[in-house]
Structure 1
């Protein structure tokens, strides 16, 4: 087993202690491969190592699909977004020595695994609504566990239990961020900048120029911004990587419009593009 592969072992006990029953809110324990609270509510750990704590259906189109996850795995494996992963790992190593890192909207666990590599004393909890993605996240690192959950709902996670929350291109539930983060903890939000992948035109969803204002509006009452870092690189993407970057995100749902699928299929060579992200650090307001 490598440092990035946990197989189908049960959830690490440090992760189980951070979880709460999604039905009643009580603490849970792990009995063989079942997460259970004292009131008898139980959730089986899947053979891939994640636990599904949902007890209600999610709206269609909310979770990443298997093709979207496959495209993301291929793109991230190529190193295209490694500069962002390295920056997030650097932030984690600068601010966290141990404890729990929660990745809210973790997807395949790529960024969480890098953060855990940078902080040998920490454990990681991957939360995401896509069970398909969490099959990967559950195996992303031996000190990680994964739970399926809708981030817009109250999280099945203990109060003040985490030292660091990562939120990478994912829904931002400010009340839950604040509730589960320790008083001296850190929230790290990664967002694409308006110039991100601009060379691909409408094959990718453009970034709203007012995103910074919307981010502050979402978090401002409960968090204080302490730092912002920019991660911008020029790189060459192959035709296969361009297809992956389009098909791994929300843009995949719009390829049937305005001839986008045909234009994507027509790309056969490499394209020079700009990748540009903001990494913003926040402290909770008491």
Structure 2
């Protein structure tokens, strides 16, 4: 398991910002800073300790893998891949990639593209590193300047993840596209009947536009929704793969779910181009 050449060329040393090369299983810059690939295939370029409650835990990652393997968000992944396909070949950077589910679907649609999965969770990136042969996985805090070359990406994906507008803009090449997937207020609302979910900010879309307006213009938008019937096990997985899993007291009623539950999957896919 190794990093695609296109990903290595796009990466920068997180200590000095110099270019890096891959020798055996070590990324090394010209000044001698080195970063070993973990045996699971990802590399950690982050120097700071990740604050508790920030990164996905092993239990959260397992829940996400099992839930997504059930195909519940397959239509959403296809819709994201459809949008990414309009940008052509190149490097696809997934900011907040998690297990690499959406990035792998995009790479499957773009046979000449390579993918860089960025996420703060090493647990999630263990999965992402195996999600596709043309994918490289890097542990990084999205709020910090990314160890990625300016203008190196043809597509930036941001699916249910933190948004760093200046870095989105910096790494995108001219003519590149940013694809953002955000939950709508009614997303999975029925789960609130069985667990004390963290609420979706009703001004989330407005805040999204405000944060990106300085650097991007929106050129397309579509709503994506579906009615899902979840087994009791998938209800638990849907809750455990999200931020509510960091708050155990909110999960006390999960064990009460004994029957399938119909829920609403509702999100918006927005496409942006960098302002010139």
Give the TM-score, by structure 2 length: 0.97
Aligned to 2:186: 195
1:253 partnered with 2:268:
no
CA distance in 1, matches of 2:22, 2:127: 21
1:16 partnered with 2:35:
no
Q: Give 1:161-200 correspondences, 5 Å limit.
A: 161-200=152-191
Q: Which moved more, 1:196-205 or 1:122-131?
A: 196-205
Shift of 1:267: 0.3
Aligned to 1:41: 33
1:124 partnered with 2:99:
no
CA distance in 2, matches of 1:230, 1:272: 19
Q: Give 1:230-241 correspondences, 5 Å limit.
A: 230-241=223-234
Shift of 1:96: 2.5
The CA deviation string for residues 162-215 of structure 1, in whole angstroms up to 9 with x for no partner, is: 000000111101110010001110000001111111111154322111111100
SS of residue paired to 1:98: coil
1:90 partnered with 2:82:
yes
Aligned to 2:268: 278
| 5+ long unaligned stretches in structure 1 | 1-8
SS of residue paired to 1:121: coil
1:71 partnered with 2:30:
no
Aligned to 1:5: none
| 5+ long unaligned stretches in structure 2 | none
Q: Given that residues 203 and 264 in structure 1 are in contact (C-alpha distance below 8 angstroms), is that contact kept between their aligned partners in structure 2?
A: no
Give the TM-score, by structure 1 length: 0.94
Shift of 1:12: 1.1
Q: Given that residues 96 and 119 in structure 1 are in contact (C-alpha distance below 8 angstroms), is that contact kept between their aligned partners in structure 2?
A: no
CA distance in 2, matches of 1:52, 1:253: 23
CA distance in 1, matches of 2:211, 2:88: 28
Runs of 4+ in structure 1 over 4 Å off: none
CA distance in 1, matches of 2:55, 2:128: 14
The CA deviation string for residues 33-74 of structure 1, in whole angstroms up to 9 with x for no partner, is: 000000000000111111110112121211110000000000
When the two chains are superposed, the root-mean-square deviation of aligned CA atoms in Å is 0.9
Q: Given that residues 193 and 278 in structure 1 are in contact (C-alpha distance below 8 angstroms), is that contact kept between their aligned partners in structure 2?
A: yes
CA distance in 1, matches of 2:150, 2:174: 10
CA distance in 2, matches of 1:128, 1:50: 11
CA distance in 2, matches of 1:100, 1:188: 14
SS of residue paired to 2:93: strand
CA distance in 2, matches of 1:253, 1:29: 37
Which of 201, 206, 213 lines up with 1:208 in the alignment? 201
Q: Which moved more, 1:27-36 or 1:193-202?
A: 193-202
Aligned to 2:97: 106
